[in-house]
């Protein structure tokens, strides 16, 4: 069972499939090359035999063979002229006479002028006689063919009873007086050629499996090498858990696709690590934030239970406890809203409205608070500023910014709200002449529960939850806007929101479940 599963895993693996396709490809190429090679060898060997036959034919026609009317025989007869003492001439003529046939224009084999024997070799005879009408037809075709054209010769391949192949070259020869055409066929065995081709084929058939096995083995090793980093990625991925998200896969510095994969994977873990860290930090912050009012409530209740004597003391302890309960429920409500917003459950309800009116109303509401704090609150608004926004969220955003500005500006300071409609965007500016934010804290002010250290003693209802700017960040992101903070400690702070004019597409919009980040 285990073996079967293991085998299936191997055969489904990328390494196996790469090797298998490589082996298949290699085999097809090898067979193709062998076929091409064999064809080219065959045509070379054939051409050599044709060349030899052409040479023999030229020698016979050029002088060794003469055909003439023989009064003795009573018809056309052949004579062979050569010096029997000359080994070269003898060899050539004997070579020609190995496979040959001479017939008249009607297809009848003619005799030798001297011996009277038929001019056909036994080897040619073994191939089976050509029927005279067939020969006669060929003669007519060759006589009528234009000079120096392939039609002047007739090529064929014949096999004897044993299956031995012969290449036959036939042509026309005229008698001495050019009276009648004669059919002269000479041939050569192709047995050697076939033997060479057969040996070639068998050698190749023997070599191909070995080459394929060797090629596949090399392919297997190469595929294994190429895939090692992939395995490393998989193994590292398996070792990664919440507690060791700091693991990274080392790149091979090869600059190839696998390095790109490793890099992408490492970046993904980096992002995971960051959001995991954020989650951890968030739950630590939440429990810390909740613990503070709970401890305070407990303290107040203990006071009421053990030390309070008078009704006023009871009332005071209860009042304090109630205040802490308020703060507790405020935190819980804010957290719930924020998590709803960030998980996409809070959907924007956009409508086209005049931002000037919205800002004007809010400034009016904050005038009392500003007066109490001794801060001058002014608004710098154009007559009209239409935008496609979610009224509730935009009000929440400006409220948060305004209350912070007033809260962190000392008596005698100024807070200004401005709206600047530009061609491509609307800028909402909330600036103050307050205490400002030091550069090192700027990147964190939008984090949940982040309060600039030293901004107050223990948390109190006035001090805020450190959640206001997190909301602002989410609202900005949900409106596809951008926020910029410009702050000089001791001089003041300016928040600029750049809202794309005309709003963003649809009436409702889902927000991805991820912490709003600043841009």
Residue closer to ligand ADP (CB basis): 160 or 403: 403
Stretch that binds ligand ADP, among 46-54, 68-76, 211-219, 400-408 (CB under 6 A): 400-408
**Looking at 422-460, which runs of residues are DSSP E strands?**
425-432
Does 385 bind ligand ADP (CB under 6 A)? Our answer is: no
CB 454 → ligand ADP: shortest distance, Å? 9
Residue closer to ligand ADP (CB basis): 175 or 486: 486
Does 216 bind ligand ADP (CB under 6 A)? Our answer is: no
Does 338 bind ligand ADP (CB under 6 A)? Our answer is: no
Strands of the 492-500 sheet, one edge to the other: 376-380, 414-421, 425-432, 492-500, 482-488
The values of phi and psi at residue 171, to 5°, are -155, 180
SS3 141: helix
What tokens were used for 482?
Answer: 């951008």
Residue closest to ligand ADP when measured from CB atoms: 464
Residue closer to ligand ADP (CB basis): 77 or 405: 405
CB 343 → ligand ADP: shortest distance, Å? 20
Asked if 157 contacts 148 with a C-beta cutoff of 8 angstroms, the reply is no
Residue of 493, 511, 515, 516 interacting with ligand ADP (CB under 6 A): 493
CA–CA separation, 147 and 145 (whole Å): 6
- Return the closest-CA partner of residue 272 out of 235, 241, 231: 241
Q: Binding marks (x or -) toward ligand ADP, 170..209, rule CB under 6 A? A: ----------------------------------------
CA–CA separation, 115 and 79 (whole Å): 9
CB 363 → ligand ADP: shortest distance, Å? 16
Does 293 bind ligand ADP (CB under 6 A)? Our answer is: no
CB 17 → ligand ADP: shortest distance, Å? 55
Counted residue by residue, the chain has a size of: 519
Q: Which residues, numbered 408-467, are part of the site for ligand ADP (CB under 6 A)?
A: 408, 432, 434-437, 445, 450-452, 455, 463-467
CA–CA separation, 438 and 43 (whole Å): 90
The values of phi and psi at residue 420, to 5°, are -120, 100
Biggest CA pair distance of the chain? 169
Q: Which residues, numbered 89-118, are part of the site for ligand ADP (CB under 6 A)?
A: none
Residue closer to ligand ADP (CB basis): 130 or 447: 447
Token pair 């070269």: residue: 88
Give how many residues touch ligand ADP by CB under 6 A: 23
SS3 247: coil
Which residues of the shown chain bind ligand ADP in the complex (CB under 6 A)? 400, 404-405, 408, 432, 434-437, 445, 450-452, 455, 463-470, 493
């Amino acid at each position: 069972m285990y073996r079967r599963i293991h085998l299936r895993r191997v055969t489904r693996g990328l390494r196996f499939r790469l090797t298998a396709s490589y082996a298949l490809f290699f085999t097809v190429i090898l067979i193709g090359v062998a076929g091409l090679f064999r064809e080219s060898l065959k045509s070379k060997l054939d051409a050599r035999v044709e060349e030899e036959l052409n040479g023999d034919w030229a020698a016979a026609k050029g002088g060794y063979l003469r055909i003439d009317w023989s009064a003795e025989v009573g018809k056309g007869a052949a004579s062979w002229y050569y010096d029997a003492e000359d080994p070269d001439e003898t060899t050539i003529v004997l070579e020609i006479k190995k496979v040959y046939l001479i017939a008249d224009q009607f297809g009848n084999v003619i005799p030798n002028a001297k011996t009277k024997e038929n001019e056909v070799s036994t080897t040619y005879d073994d191939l089976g006689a050509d029927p005279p009408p067939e020969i006669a037809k060929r003669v007519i075709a060759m006589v009528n063919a234009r000079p120096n054209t392939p039609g002047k010769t007739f090529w064929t391949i014949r096999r004897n009873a044993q299956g031995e192949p012969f290449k036959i070259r036939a042509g026309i020869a005229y008698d001495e007086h050019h009276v009648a055409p004669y059919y002269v066929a000479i041939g050569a065995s192709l047995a050697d050629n076939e033997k060479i081709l057969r040996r070639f084929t068998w050698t190749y058939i023997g070599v191909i499996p070995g080459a394929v096995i060797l090629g596949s083995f090399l392919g297997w090793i190469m595929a294994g090498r190429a895939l090692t980093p992939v395995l490393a990625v998989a193994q590292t991925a398996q070792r990664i858990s919440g507690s060791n998200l700091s693991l990274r896969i080392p790149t091979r510095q090869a600059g190839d696709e696998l390095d790109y994969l490793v890099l992408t994977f490492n970046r993904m873990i980096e992002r995971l690590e960051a959001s995991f860290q954020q989650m951890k930090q968030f739950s630590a912050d939440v429990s810390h934030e909740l613990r503070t009012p709970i401890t305070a409530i407990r303290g107040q209740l203990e006071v009421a239970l053990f030390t309070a004597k008078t009704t006023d003391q009871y009332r005071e302890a209860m009042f304090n406890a109630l205040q802490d309960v308020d703060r507790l429920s405020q935190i819980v409500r804010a957290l719930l809203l924020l998590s709803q917003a960030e998980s996409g459950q809070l959907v924007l309800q956009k409508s086209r409205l005049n931002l000037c009116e919205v800002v004007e109303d809010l400034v009016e509401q904050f005038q009392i608070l500003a007066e109490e704090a001794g801060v001058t609150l002014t608004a710098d608004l154009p007559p009209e500023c239409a935008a496609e926004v979610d009224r509730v969220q935009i009000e929440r955003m400006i409220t948060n910014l305004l209350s912070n500005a007033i809260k962190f500006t000392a008596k005698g300071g100024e807070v200004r709200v401005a709206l600047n409609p530009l061609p491509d965007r609307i800028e909402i500016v909330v600036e103050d002449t307050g205490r400002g934010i030091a550069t090192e804290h700027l990147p964190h002010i939008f984090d949940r529960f982040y309060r600039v250290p030293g901004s107050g003693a223990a948390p109190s209802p006035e001090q805020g939850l450190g959640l206001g700017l997190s909301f602002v960040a989410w609202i900005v992101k949900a409106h596809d806007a951008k926020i910029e903070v410009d702050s000089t400690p001791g001089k003041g702070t300016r928040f600029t929101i750049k809202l794309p004019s005309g709003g963003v597409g649809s009436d409702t919009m889902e927000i991805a479940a991820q912490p709003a980040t600043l841009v």
